Structure 1
């Protein structure tokens, strides 16, 4: 463990940054007048804002801590994770963003599940309630992963215990998220996306220079580091022998691809909130360019970490990014980049909290209250904010009790249950005339429970990742049920494009 010599410099930068986030979030919160403003910013986001927010939300602690940690622990085979993710991002912006935005606008949908329930009206209520509960359940773990990521960064810099670090991260993100909702989240995400990109770009550049000019490091180049490590480090299949074994590694590591195909509600909501088609084109270009830089930088951080520390030099593989920052840069510059790491946790945590609380408030709590009395816009907004706080508290508890403290593992669980399940449903909604409400409901129920079963049985580490298997099983279910049933022409939107 390393400590910043001028710790006060890091504290000053963090305090100023957090003060900016909270202040800006409250300033944006003044514009929130209704639950629709709170959940989707009035469907008026400029393209560049939507793109940067979508990228900051998607990459989170996973991209700055989890992905470099995978590459640090596995070598070249870990880079398939970045390759699969980048391909998924490109396809989502090229093929899904604009059709989804137009379809959601036509359905007058405010949230992700609102879109699904209106698109598949015949079973709209069942779809809305079940999908809301599923999203909230898996997002407890997803938000918990961000709190773990923030805690690991604070531990690396200050030696703060993980349990206290999670509580500190929680205290930073809650105030402005509860008050400002979606509007404050997306604009603070833009700042965080730029800081994150700076960290992901400059750290590998300085890292390569550092290992070439400092003979005391474990290896003087990335190629030497891979050669000196175990043979599996320099293998693109992790040392697996044979076509089937190698394909299993490649598909498993690249299976993050499936979740990007429209199935992550926090990203789909950004697509839905874009102002118009022209802004959607700008968002596509910004999002793909940002991703190209990030998915090159993150694996390189892991590879440089092997050269600097050796493959066994760190007690926790996901500490490689903050440890490398402290090793490479002056304390002031390291503080700036580590702020970028914490920005990643905050950007995803705040977005997930707003989305999960909106789904729970709008689809479960408010409808039950409306059975007995009318609920005003002001009260709905207050309920949304209180629900955000409640969801955050449960997520904090999940971060404490989750059996694995590896961000990659925790995020992967939520990615399979939500991303890989709902990707099949969104693809069917956009591109298939035959895909109907019965197929959508069957797909989400099977996908959610299959993910839980697959992980409980331990098949994730022994057979194939839950992300791959959940997507395949959901495709089969969607295809079979669509063949056996017909869409309701009255209550379901069957027009495509």
Structure 2
């Protein structure tokens, strides 16, 4: 049996299992709270593995190994920024957000902010939900595009058919089980991801030791021979340029501090404080191991193939896995990687649909019957999925990916400031929160649109700018709550 046929067979079986697993857990959904936030009853291990699969997916399995292959150890700064941001989120924010969600009976990210800042709740709900729905809806379209590209790379399937296949995998169980189905399918993705990122490097080192014909049997030598910059922590830069390079990589830290709604929702859904502690330990351990493994896989790929031999640097993980494992095992690990990208798509889809349903449509809803409300939420999810797929088909890829580039800086860093001040500063109030949201989003669009992001990363600058606006607005505007 050829490698492609084995890979296709394993993928079909894996996807079928995924859909069945998602539908199975979707049976527990009885009302809209179950659909939107799993009734706030997630076990810690489920929340942790789901958050990690959603937060990393194709980045940990394709993006980071690809960057390590192309840039060498200079990519370490990005990895350090991400890891420290994730650790800070789990250690400082997860249990607090879980308690806050329970206290305010919040079912969505915007619902929490609106209820927490009640005096401006209506406007916060409108601005926050509209922004999340728009950008993350396009993010779903980008995941469909990514799925099409990956299937084209692996099997030569037309990207348009690949997008349709990607959509058909996630839509059924997402519509049926909502957040409940999404988080439990994420668990499978997360386990396969960590298996790939732990076993892969170990087998990779054994392969290098036993195959003298490779580019280099040593990662260190491979980095030194690949280019003058591969073995440089600062990509060969010095002085201020080296400092800006470091800041650019490390700036990913700020987006993890509660500002990415699809991750924060996992914190909010944890069952209790004991489960939150378990989730923290699992989430942090998973992250440290996964990032080390991802960096090593990219460098092992460099040692096997040499620099500039792969047409797409993000193909280094699949290429390396196919090289060092028997076809059947490689097929499973690569399938898990592709499916992990799908886990991001379903998470973004359910986030967009519940934000729209709970915070915008709900205001015009004239029925209160729980079954009807649940049916409406499922219909909204289906419509959003169809529209996102259509947009991905008809819109230029450049436009979609450009808009998605605003997400981490514009939404992640803006909302991180709002969440941090909401949790840790008693004087912070609704008017200041709303001011920070609007200012941060507008600033990001202007900063990136004018090309300033190439000078200083928008992630860092917007976090600082939004923070200043939030603090100043807290003192200038008076809270209406006495």
Which TM-score tier does this pair reach, normalised by the shorter chain? Answer: over 0.9
Per-residue deviation, 1:314: 1.5
Post-superposition CA distance 1:94-142 (Å, at most 9, x none): 1111111112211111111000000111111111111111111221343
Q: Aligned to 1:265, which of 261, 264, 267?
A: 261
Distance in 1 separating the partners of 2:427 and 2:233: 40
Moved more, 333-342 or 464-473: 464-473
| Distance change (3 Å), C-alpha of 1:64 and 1:7 | same
Q: How far is the alpha carbon of 1:16 from its aligned partner?
A: 1.9
**1:419 Cα deviation after fit:** 1.2
Deviations 1:138-169 (A, max 9, x none): 21343234334433432332122333322221
TM-score normalized by the length of structure 2 = 0.95
CA–CA distance in 2 between the matches of 1:475 and 1:439? 10
Instruction: State which drifts further: 311-320 or 88-97.
Output: 311-320
- Do residues 250 (structure 1) and 246 (structure 2) align? yes
The offset of 1:410, in angstroms, is: 7.5
What pairs up with 1:286-325 in 2 under 5 angstroms?
286-325=282-321
Equivalent position of 2:232 in the other structure: 235
1:259 and 1:419 in contact (8 A); partners too: yes
* 1:344-359 equivalences in 2 (<5 Å): 344-359=340-355
Structure 2 Cα separation of the partners of residues 81 and 464 of structure 1:
15
Once the 2 structures are TM-superposed, how far is the Cα of residue 278 of structure 1 from its aligned partner? 0.8
Q: Matches of residues 23-102 of structure 1 in structure 2 within 5 Å?
A: 23-102=20-99
Are 1:477 and 2:473 an aligned pair? no
Preserved contact between residue 367 and residue 373 of structure 2 (Cα < 8 Å): no
Matching of residues 179-218 of structure 1 within 5 Å: 179-218=176-215
Map residues 68-467 of structure 1 onto 2, 5 A cutoff.
68-242=65-239, 244-368=240-364, 370=365, 373-397=366-390, 399-400=392-393, 401=395, 403-404=397-398, 412-460=405-453, 462-467=454-459
Separation of aligned partners in 2, 1:480 and 1:120: 17
> Residues 144 and 232 of structure 1: is their aligned pair in 2 closer, same or farther, counting only changes over 3 Å?
farther
Distance, in Å, in 2 between the alignment partners of 1:139 and 1:124 is: 21
1:422 shift after superposition? 0.6
Moved more, 471-480 or 205-214: 205-214
- C-alpha separation between the residues in 2 aligned to 1:317 and 1:144? 23
Deviates more, 1:109-118 or 1:170-179: 170-179
Offset at residue 463 of structure 1 (A): 0.6
1:378-412 Cα deviation digits (max 9, x unpaired) = 222122112222322343355454545998x8765
SS in structure 2 of the partner of residue 388 of structure 1: helix
1:486 maps to 478
Deviates more, 1:56-65 or 1:447-456: 447-456
Distance in 2 between residues matched to 1:151 and 1:224, nearest whole Å: 36
Once residues 263 and 182 of structure 2 are traced to their aligned partners in structure 1, the CA distance between those partners, rounded to angstroms, is 13
Partner secondary structure for residue 234 of structure 1: coil
Structure 2's unaligned 5+ residue stretches are: none
CA contact (8 A) 2:44 2:275 kept: yes
Indicate how the Cα distance of structure 1 residues 133 and 44 shifts in structure 2: closer, same or farther if over 3 A, else same: same
Change (3 A) 1:110 1:406: closer
Paired positions, count: 481
User: For 2:270 and 2:371, how far apart are their aligned partners in 1?
Assistant: 25
Query: Does structure 2 retain, via aligned residues, the 8 Å contact 1:196–1:343?
Result: no
Write the distance in 2 (CA, Å) between the matches of 1:328 and 1:195: 17
Query: What do you get for the CA RMSD once the two structures are aligned?
Result: 2.0
Deviation sequence 1:410-444 (CA, Å, 0-9, x none): 76532112211111000011000111111111111
Give the TM-score normalised by the residue count of structure 1.
0.92
Q: Which 5+ residue runs of structure 1 have no aligned equivalent?
A: 491-497
Judge conservation of contact 1:141–1:414 (CA < 8 Å) in 2.
no
Deviations 1:335-373 (A, max 9, x none): 1101210221122111111111000111112322x3xx3
